[in-house]
Copies of this chain bind each other. A is one copy, B any other.
């Protein structure tokens, strides 16, 4: 066995133990051994290390069965913090989260716009310093920073590649730049994958091994969990549901493909359609030019029964449902979690329309249902996911994230 293999195996056992203490704690060493299949001796060694590192605490006592009283173990949530950064088109969101995935501090600022990436990185570095200062957490307790952006991206190089909403960021070394300016270890992944990891950390997907997030910011992406493992594909460019074709003879997409979902259903498109309707006098809502705000306004109008707004939202949801069915027919999933700012006002329509479509159109509908629900993390799904992503990678490598065989 090579050293790397030995290390990986140990890290994997350590990850299992941490995950179990998080999900089932307070828990005894005996239960840990039973549930992980590891020996008592291995559990003792791992637990001792985790106690020394202050990641877990001994707490209370189990019922004495006559012999030595049992100590229980639970997570020391504040012992390690993760910083999450989501660079969206409209907003940049920062979150500091603890070991339970709870938000300790949060800040949201305007999106990067057309400002040069180097300038934005300086601004982000100052924002991060300010957030840490105002939250009062020790900088040394932050194990690293997770960075989430829309895809496609080159995770190895740590760069965004031709993302429609972050055009001038193409090939800019985001991860390297932020590692250098903040001094934090940085992890990098797409927003939808981060959201799927965040959902798992908060326990919202418990009982489901095969599910996906559908993440709608200004574009649309998806994070896929298969057999309990975040799926990364060859190069982390997975879950591009926004570039699943809904009309093979349709419009050309800037991505190079034809008839992509984003062209028919993204908040950007719905807002453009709303602006046209407003120009024709068919819709009376204030439009600000900020996509997420304008999309929220359309969602509010639809909720209030405006016929035009309803038609636009339903049209978008129908197309999203179509791409979700394609994904479910390919991947035989149990659960779809809708995450991202776009679902904060119009989410109910999407849940209803996608649920209904899956119940009537998915191939495996006679064999098992596919549930659809809104993310427990609301607007923060990607940033919180990014924070949990770095916590996951620093504390329990290889348990949720898969190994790359590429």
Considering only CB atoms, which chain B residue lies closest to A237 in the complex? B364
B224 touches A330 (CB 8 A): yes
CB distance from A37 to the nearest CB of B (A): 4
User: Which chain B residues lie closer than 8 Å to A280 at the CB level?
Assistant: none
Least CB separation from A227: chain B residue:
B402
A248 and B37 contacting across the interface, CB-CB below 8 Å:
no
* A356-406 interface (Cβ within 8 A of B): 360-368, 402-406
CB 8 Å contact bits of A145-156 with B (1 = contact, 0 = none): 000000110100
Contact A248-B363, Cβ < 8 Å, known A210-B406, A234-B334, A330-B330: no
In the complex, which of the residues A151, A154, A248, A367 has the most CB atoms of chain B within 10 Å of its own CB atom?
A248
CA separation between A62 and B361, bound complex, in Å? 60
* Docked complex Cα distance between A21 and B406 (Å): 22
A332 at the interface (CB under 8 A from B): yes
Interface centre among A209, A238, A330 (most CB of B within 10 A): A330
Interface contact B37-A245, CB-CB below 8 Å: no
Is A247 positioned at the interface, with any CB of B under 8 Å from its CB? yes
Which chain B positions have C-beta within 8 A of A367?
152, 154, 161, 235, 237
Residues in B whose Cβ lies below 8 Å from that of A329 = 237, 240-241, 243-244, 257
Other-chain residue from B39, B233, B257, B325 in contact with A325 (beta carbon distance below 8 A): B257
Residues of B within 8 A of A239 (CB): 330
Residues of chain B lying within 8 A (CB to CB) of residue A406 = 209-210, 334, 368
In the complex, the answer to whether B258 meets A322 with C-beta atoms within 8 Å is yes
Interface membership of A236, Cβ < 8 A: yes
Interface of A is mostly: loop
Nearest-neighbor residue (CB-CB) of A334 within chain B: B234
Across the two chains, which residue of chain B brings its CB closest to A247?
A: B247
Q: What band does the interface of chain A fall in when counting residues whose beta carbon is under 8 Å from B?
A: 35 or more
Q: Which of B233, B259, B264 contacts A331 (CB 8 A)?
A: B233
Closest B residue to A8 by beta carbon equals: B37
Chain B residues within 8 Å of A233, by CB:
210, 226, 331-333, 364
B162 engages A237 (CB within 8 Å): no
Cβ of A68 within 8 Å of any chain B Cβ, yes or no, is: no
A241 cross-chain contacts in B, Cβ below 8 A: 329-330
Which residue on chain B has the smallest CB distance to residue A222? B330
Q: Is there a chain B Cβ closer than 8 Å to A188's Cβ?
A: no
CB distance from A252 to the nearest CB of B (A): 10
Least CB distance, A328 to chain B, in whole angstroms: 9
Contacting residue for A330 out of B240, B322, B332, CB 8 A: B240
Which of B1, B209, B248 is A405 in contact with, Cβ under 8 Å? B209
Nearest residue (CB) in B for A229 is: B227
Interface residues, chain A, CB within 8 Å of chain B?
A: 1-2, 5-6, 9, 37-39, 151-152, 154, 161-162, 209-210, 222, 224, 226-229, 231-241, 243-249, 255-259, 264, 318-319, 322-323, 325-327, 329-334, 360-368, 402-406
A-B contacts, 21 of them at CB < 8 A, read A2-B37, A152-B364, A209-B405, A226-B226, A227-B231, A231-B331, A233-B332, A233-B333, A235-B332, A235-B364, A235-B368, A236-B332, A238-B330, A244-B244, A245-B323, A247-B247, A256-B360, A256-B361, A256-B362, A259-B322, A330-B331
